[in-house]
Amino acid sequence: MKTVLSVDVAKNKSMIMLMNSDGEILIDTREIKHNLDDFEKVKEEIKDINPQNLTVFMESTGTYHLPVERYFKENGFNTLVINSLTTKNNYDTIRKTKTDKKDCYRLAKLFFINEVEYHEISKKDLYANLKAMTRQYFYLTQVNIRCKNRYKRLINICFPEFEGFFARNRIYEDTALNFIKAFPHAYIVREKRIDALYNNLRKVDARHDYYYKRLARQLKDTAMNSFPGVDKDHADVRNLSDMASILQENNRLIDEIRKNMIELAKQSPYFEIVNSFYGIGEVLAAELLGELGNITRFDNHKQLIAFCGLDPSIVQSGKSINVKGAISKRGDKYARWILFNISQMVVKLGHQCPSHPVYNYYLIKKAEGKHYYESLTACSTKILRMLYSMCKNNKTFLSD
């Protein structure tokens, strides 16, 4: 006889119910808080009842279910977490009745239906840790974009000519950031001696001293003729110095996470295979493995494509013919973003590898009149199919 402890998870609390396969309720529905005392009480109560074939069953609810899942797993309980989309599809009825008690009961009934597939991934798993790193890396890079925009805007207010001395992305490197952090206004630069400016500039890079002396002299001359939008006592001058410090710290964190992410990803047996794919560097390979996990756990490439939300939506009504619509977008949005970047990279480098199957596929889609983004989306699905086959067969890109 099977027994299930169904857990309807909410923020900092849950509703629980213990029921066996005969429909007998062994622990009636009640609320527990996500703390050690309440978890221990439930464990002792279950120990007194001593049910057979017990499984703790809950749905994934963002981060709220993690304390519950961790406690029961670490205490030796068979614990299963189901995708919330599956429960939604099974709960849909004509009558719209929803309470915490009913949700607990429905979860228990769903467990006994036994038509649900469970993919068990431990939070201590290599891919789970890699995913946490890739999400942090993604978040910090997005934050850095906003910081860079703010930083550049403040430079145009406080020392507009400064940008001309550090072309393109050099304005975000340590040499420029160190200088702006110390001298965030043209009038401050004007007041400093050339050797003070020179000593600041030469802190990071190991270029020739003559280069930095000349650059310091040019900055001083330019500052003498500059007329910024605000005076040196304005609050935006301090803001600019602060933004330079924030960017430096963000850059340091991003570099550290990138390095750790690649080192961890290299422990996966599929890293070398994914990295061998033309257009996928070490960072993209680490990000992709972090989002997809163990690629071979999927039964076929269609499941992998659906996991990423790249499967086409099907429209059918009555006698109408099936029409493939836009992609479903019901899967992992981060994986789609990474795959889109890979597709762009393959197309960009296509002239260097004209025999690349993805590049040729892109040309076919463009010849059919597809939009650039549609073509890249199609390329993303092809990349997934190829990566799935490569990992399943343990073959690197274009290997015999």
State residue 381's pLDDT score.
94
Its pTM stands at 0.77
State residue 92's pLDDT score.
46
Q: What is the CA radius of gyration of the chain?
A: 29
What is the three-class DSSP state of 82? strand
Q: Are strands 323-327 and 54-59 parallel, antiparallel or unpaired?
A: unpaired
- For the chain, list residues with pLDDT below 50: 92-97, 117, 119, 121-123, 400
109 and 208 Cβ atoms separated by less than 8 Å:
no
Tokens matching residue 319: 């006698």
Q: Are strands 3-10 and 54-59 parallel, antiparallel or unpaired?
A: parallel
State residue 320's pLDDT score.
56
10 Å Cβ neighbour count for 162?
A: 25
State residue 350's pLDDT score.
84
State residue 100's pLDDT score.
62
Predicted confidence (pLDDT) per residue in 214-268, tens digit: 999 999 999 999 999 999 999 999 999 999 999 999 999 999 999 999 999 999 9
What is the three-class DSSP state of 296? helix
State residue 105's pLDDT score.
86
| Residue ranges matching CATH 3.30.420.40 in the chain | 3-113
Predicted confidence (pLDDT) per residue in 52-64, tens digit: 889 999 888 878 9
- CATH no. for 130-262: 1.10.287
CATH architecture of 3-113: 2-Layer Sandwich (3.30)
| Closest C-alpha among 325, 326, 356, 322 to residue 342 | 356
What is the three-class DSSP state of 301? helix
| Closest C-alpha among 39, 86, 55 to residue 330 | 86
State residue 198's pLDDT score.
92
How many whole angstroms separate alpha carbon 27 and alpha carbon 163? 68
How many whole angstroms separate alpha carbon 68 and alpha carbon 38? 11
State residue 400's pLDDT score.
43
CA dihedral 331, 337, 340, 342 (to 10 degrees): -120
Task: Report which secondary-structure segment, H or E, holds 156.
Answer: helix 126-158
State residue 103's pLDDT score.
82
| Residue ranges matching CATH 1.10.287 in the chain | 130-262
Predicted confidence (pLDDT) per residue in 219-228, tens digit: 999 999 999 9
26 and 20 Cβ atoms separated by less than 8 Å:
yes
387 and 339 Cβ atoms separated by less than 8 Å:
no
